[in-house]
Structure 1
Amino acid sequence: MNFADRDPALRPLLDQLLSPDDRTRIEPVLDDLGRVAANELDDLAATADRHPPVLRAYAPDGTRIDAVDHHPAYQEMSRLAFERYGLAAMSHRPGVLGWPTRVPHVVKYALSYLFVQSEFGLACPLSMTDSAARVLRLFDPERFAAEIDALSSPTLEGLATGAMFMTEKQGGTDVGQTATTATATVTPEGTHWTLSGHKWFCSNVAADLILTLARVPGQGEGTRGLGLFLVPRVRPDGTPNGLRIDRLKDKLGSRSMASGEVTLEDAWARPVGDLTRGFPQMAEMLNVSRLSNAMRATALMRRAVRESVDHTRERVVFGQRLFDQPLMRQTLLPLALHAEAGLGLVLESASRLDDADAGDPHAAALVRILTPLAKNTLCKRARQVTGEAMEVRGGNGYIEDWVNPRLLRDAHLGSIWEGSSNVICLDVLRCMTREQSHRVLAGAYVGRLAALDHPRVEPAASTLVGRWQHLRSRGEQLLAMSTFDQEAAIGAYAEDLCHAVMATLLLERAQRELAAGLGHRALLLAHTWLHWLADPRLTSPPALHVLDQVVDGGEVSAEVAQSAYDAIGTASRHHVEAGTRG
């Protein structure tokens, strides 16, 4: 088993998004990580899930130590992630996996996607270590050069893992209610800061370097009064810092990784960047963590689809393979479709992040809205896909001997961490209000649709242009509503925007593969996606008859691909053009 080889979308998308040199460099890593994820890592992940971390608050002599003990399986997974594959280091230093420069975000997310198909929990410390280094590089690189180097270490021995402690009991999502206080103390050696307060949900709770927000005296109320601070596990003099782990959380999923409650007791801290812009600086860490959440959701969907396909091909019921039975095909097709469309959206967002980091302001505006759209839509969809996959496996799917329960538990986390779905949708509304992001999206993707000139692609592209025009108009109408009505409507509108982006990306890929002589499979998927937009029940889609090619890859005829568009029908196509679902 090799997860990369079993994925019909991954390599074609990388062909499209990477330079030839980067595409060549990633291929042996895809092969290696795809094999390790499907075998060694999968076994380690199952073991770590059954043996969650344990808090050891005191040493035998009564000394407070606040240590978290992980099973050896977790330690070995950490070595694979941080050292063998450099998943936290690759965005910050050249030389990782043989890259002469920093590794592109597209590569990082593609490799992380393979890793997460077996191990979800460790992806959180990976993401926070990576994004903590990013925040320090962006806002205070000279003062924190040593910390950036430790966070991006290519070896476990030199590594400092990162974390983000934001949530407080009284505030939750409302970060403006943060009560942790920052106190400046002036000594002959200079000024230093200490933090006091309580953080309610702290993942990677025993991290070496923690970014957190605290209230700075005299700065005002709400988020304006918050500064961003870096809190080390150990003070500069080598003594333990004032961080007390009160208890570990008994979580539904992500059980391999430790989350807990932390009390800060005059914890030594250093301010990061501009103290008056603490929350905007922390938001950079939030945004990239949200994109990581979307990637993880897509990985869970892909694993769930593969499990369902393998099971139904092996299981014979009433003399026929389950996979060949029409109603089961009707069940499997949407699962495979959403997994493939989701990966396209994640890698598109990563590609735009690469462009933004290179100084492209238009790409920065795009990734600002793509990130919450992907996080909201894909994390919610993963809950449905993993739940359906559990049912496909039947009674065994509900038993912990199989991977389905773990996939289902982990999938529910994505819609909660880094902002629940409602919070993310309100962020989409904020993007629209402040930056007219619905116009940015419509302009970008209508322009890209206009460049699709293959005769077999043009009809669907024209339909999608109509959809984007209506979505832009709907956005203007939404912004003209009362605040109450805006907030009530933004959830459905955000999903419609996201579905239009994924439809556009599927058509772009179809054009590329047709132009390269790679066949009509991508066009079939793009047309089937439009069919789903018109009719969420996907009534009698032609793709049912070629489901092997949908789930495995392979050529389908031009006639089948065209029939998937014709099956939508004129009346149903109107729903697509009107920017709604049937």
Structure 2
Amino acid sequence: MNFADRDPALRPLVDRLLSPADRARLEPMLTELGALAAGELDRLAATADANPPVLRQYSPSGERIDEVDYHPAYARMVELAFGRFGLAAMSHRSGVLGWPAPAPHVVKYSLSYLFVQAEFGLACPMSMTDSAARILRMFDPDRFAEEIAALTATDMSSLSTGAMFMTEKQGGTDIAQTATEATNHGTHWTLRGNKWFASNVSADVILTLARVPGQGAGTRGLGMFLVPRLLPDGNRNTYRIDRLKDKLGSRSMASGEVTLEDAYALPVGELADGFRQMAEMLNVSRLSNAMRACALMRRAVFESIEHTRGRNVFGKSLFDQPLMRVTLLPMLLDTEAALGLVLEAAVRLDEADAGDAYSRRLIRMLTPLAKYTVCKQARRVTGEAMEVRGGNGYIEDWVNPRLLRDAHLGSIWEGSSNVIALDVLRCMRREALHRTVVDEYDGRLRAIENPDVQNTVAALVKRWEAVRNEGEELLGRAPDEQQARIGSYAESMTHTVMASLLVEQAAHEAGNRRYRKLLVANTYVCLLDSAMTRPHIALDYLGELADGGHVSLDVALAALDRQEVAYA
């Protein structure tokens, strides 16, 4: 069993998005990690989930130590993620997995997508370690060169993991209410306050916000600080882990409540930039959330297809039952569309990091769009997959309960859905970024020359015109009405982006006389236009869609015919 081999969408996407050299380097890694995710890693994840971390606050002699003990299965997964595959390091330095330079984000997200299909909890420390290194490189690389090296290490003896302690009890998502106080001691600062939701609570390098005296109120008064787990003399820093959270999901990884008791800290960059720095870290983490949600969806689809093919009901395979096919098809389509969006965002993030101002504007909008929509989709797809498996899907012996629990996390951490939708509205109000998105993907569709997709392109061009008009009409409304409607608008825009990316990929594959993706794209577009359609052709060819099998051009084109998809 190999999750990469069973995925009909992943390899064709990276074929198009990566250079030939990068694609060749990635292939053996896809094969290795795909097998691990379906085998050893999956077993380790189940064991770690059933044996969550434990907090030891005191040593046998009564000294305060605040150590978190992890099951050996979790430690082995750390070795695989941070060591063998360097998932937190590959965006920052050369040499990881043989890349002569930092690896493209498409590589990192493709491999992480396979990893998370087995283990979700560890993906949070992976993401925060990666993001912490990114923030230190961007804003204070000279002062924190040692910390950056440790955060990007692949040798377990040198590795430091990162964390972001941001949430406070009284503030939640309202960062302006942060009450932690910073005091300057010349050579260093100390922080005093409480952090209510601190994930990867045993991290070695913690980035957090605190109020700087004389800097003003609200978010203007916040500075970013690095809080090390150990002091320069090797002793434990003066913060307390009060307790670990008893979480619904992500149980393999420790989240806790922390009290900072004049904890040693160092400022990161310009203290007046604290909120902007944390926003940069949040945005990258939000994109990682979308990737993780996509991975959960893919595992749920895989499990559902495997189960229904192996289950006979009333003398017929469950996979071949008409109503079950109606259930499975949208799960598959939504998952494939989400993967295209995640990898598109990865490409744009690389371009933005290279200094492309236009791509930076685009990724600023794509990130909340992906976080909002894909994380919501994951909750639905994993829930459907649980029901597909029936009673066994509700039993902890199977992976479905863990997928469902973990899926709900994506819509909460790094900003709940409403917070993310309001961020989309902020992008529209301040920079009119909805116009940037419309122009980008409408323009790319119009530039496609392959005649096989022209009817699909025409349908989507009309949809983009409607999305553009709706955005302008929304901005003309009163502020309260804008807020009330932004969620549905964000979802509509995201689905249209995903449809456009499916068509773009379909045109590429059609150039090589492969038409499976065109059937996916045409069916997705029809369902977007009307949820009441019944896509007969896609349902008939569900096996080919699930396996990456052969679909003829005539079949793929017929799926766009309204006579084929409308209910009688």
Normalising TM by the smaller chain, what interval? over 0.9
Corresponding residue number in structure 2 for 1:439: 435
What secondary structure is seen at the aligned counterpart in 2 of 1:67?
Answer: strand
Q: Which amino acid aligns with 1:561?
A: A
* Equivalent runs, 1:98-497 vs 2, <5 Å: 98-186=98-186, 191-497=187-493
TM-superposed CA distance for 1:469, in Å, is: 1.7
Q: Which amino acid aligns with 1:469?
A: E
Q: Give the gaps of 5 or more residues in structure 2.
A: none
Give a deviation string over 1:49-91, Cα, whole Å, max 9, x none: 0000000000000000000000000000000000000001111
TM-superposed CA distance for 1:571, in Å, is: 9.8
What secondary structure is seen at the aligned counterpart in 2 of 1:516?
Answer: coil
Give a deviation string over 1:178-205, Cα, whole Å, max 9, x none: 000001124xxxx321000000000000
Distance 1:221 1:68 in 2: 36
Distance 1:334 1:567 in 2: 18
TM-superposed CA distance for 1:516, in Å, is: 2.0
TM-superposed CA distance for 1:221, in Å, is: 1.0
What secondary structure is seen at the aligned counterpart in 1 of 2:189?
Answer: strand
Distance 1:530 1:13 in 2: 19
Q: Which amino acid aligns with 1:56?
A: R
What secondary structure is seen at the aligned counterpart in 2 of 1:253?
Answer: coil
Distance 2:111 2:565 in 1: 41
Q: How many residues align?
A: 567
Deviates more, 1:121-130 or 1:234-243: 234-243
Give a deviation string over 1:132-161, Cα, whole Å, max 9, x none: 000000011111111100000011110010
TM-superposed CA distance for 1:359, in Å, is: 1.2
TM-superposed CA distance for 1:568, in Å, is: 7.1
- Whether the 8 Å CA contact 2:544–2:550 is kept in 1: the answer is yes
Distance 1:231 1:527 in 2: 51
- Whether the 8 Å CA contact 1:68–1:206 is kept in 2: the answer is yes
Corresponding residue number in structure 2 for 1:543: 538
- Whether the 8 Å CA contact 2:558–2:564 is kept in 1: the answer is no
- Whether the 8 Å CA contact 2:535–2:559 is kept in 1: the answer is no
What secondary structure is seen at the aligned counterpart in 1 of 2:368?
Answer: helix
* Equivalent runs, 1:69-80 vs 2, <5 Å: 69-80=69-80
Q: Give the gaps of 5 or more residues in structure 1.
A: 573-582
Corresponding residue number in structure 2 for 1:60: 60
Q: Which amino acid aligns with 1:489?
A: R
Residues 568 and 37 of structure 1: CA distance in aligned 2, closer, same or farther (over 3 Å): farther
What secondary structure is seen at the aligned counterpart in 1 of 2:507?
Answer: helix
Q: Which amino acid aligns with 1:219?
A: Q
- Whether the 8 Å CA contact 1:337–1:525 is kept in 2: the answer is yes
User: Structure 1 length as normaliser, TM-score?
Assistant: 0.96
TM-superposed CA distance for 1:567, in Å, is: 2.8
Distance 2:506 2:339 in 1: 15
Distance 1:220 1:571 in 2: 60
Distance 1:446 1:339 in 2: 22
Corresponding residue number in structure 1 for 2:14: 14
- Whether the 8 Å CA contact 2:535–2:565 is kept in 1: the answer is no
- Whether the 8 Å CA contact 2:368–2:421 is kept in 1: the answer is yes
Distance 1:480 1:255 in 2: 45
Whether 1:30 and 2:47 are equivalent positions in the alignment is: no
Deviates more, 1:226-235 or 1:530-539: 530-539
Q: Which amino acid aligns with 2:218?
A: G
TM-superposed CA distance for 1:541, in Å, is: 3.3
* Equivalent runs, 1:512-531 vs 2, <5 Å: 512-517=508-513, 519-531=514-526
Residues 142 and 102 of structure 1: CA distance in aligned 2, closer, same or farther (over 3 Å): same
- Whether the 8 Å CA contact 1:397–1:404 is kept in 2: the answer is yes
Distance 1:79 1:537 in 2: 48
Whether 1:511 and 2:534 are equivalent positions in the alignment is: no
Give a deviation string over 1:279-319, Cα, whole Å, max 9, x none: 11111110010000000000000000000000000000000
- Whether the 8 Å CA contact 1:173–1:419 is kept in 2: the answer is yes
Distance 1:208 1:176 in 2: 26
Corresponding residue number in structure 2 for 1:93: 93
What secondary structure is seen at the aligned counterpart in 2 of 1:401?
Answer: coil
Q: Which amino acid aligns with 1:380?
A: K
TM-superposed CA distance for 1:569, in Å, is: 8.0
TM-superposed CA distance for 1:329, in Å, is: 0.4
Distance 1:497 1:250 in 2: 36
Corresponding residue number in structure 2 for 1:559: 554
TM-superposed CA distance for 1:473, in Å, is: 1.5
Q: Which amino acid aligns with 2:471?
A: G
- Whether the 8 Å CA contact 2:207–2:227 is kept in 1: the answer is yes
Distance 1:58 1:567 in 2: 69
Distance 1:393 1:569 in 2: 30
What secondary structure is seen at the aligned counterpart in 2 of 1:457?
Answer: helix
515, 529, 534: which one pairs with 1:534?
A: 529
What secondary structure is seen at the aligned counterpart in 1 of 2:121?
Answer: coil
Distance 1:150 1:351 in 2: 26
- Whether the 8 Å CA contact 1:53–1:70 is kept in 2: the answer is yes
- Whether the 8 Å CA contact 2:535–2:566 is kept in 1: the answer is no
Residues 269 and 294 of structure 1: CA distance in aligned 2, closer, same or farther (over 3 Å): same
TM-superposed CA distance for 1:515, in Å, is: 1.0
- Whether the 8 Å CA contact 2:191–2:264 is kept in 1: the answer is yes
What secondary structure is seen at the aligned counterpart in 2 of 1:345?
Answer: helix
Pairwise CA RMSD of aligned residues? 1.2
Q: Which amino acid aligns with 1:427?
A: D
Q: Which amino acid aligns with 1:388?
A: E
Q: Which amino acid aligns with 1:528?
A: T
- Whether the 8 Å CA contact 1:176–1:223 is kept in 2: the answer is yes
Distance 2:226 2:78 in 1: 23
TM-superposed CA distance for 1:453, in Å, is: 1.6
What secondary structure is seen at the aligned counterpart in 2 of 1:25?
Answer: helix
What secondary structure is seen at the aligned counterpart in 2 of 1:202?
Answer: strand
- Whether the 8 Å CA contact 1:530–1:568 is kept in 2: the answer is no
Q: Which amino acid aligns with 1:160?
A: S
Distance 1:571 1:39 in 2: 42
TM-superposed CA distance for 1:570, in Å, is: 11
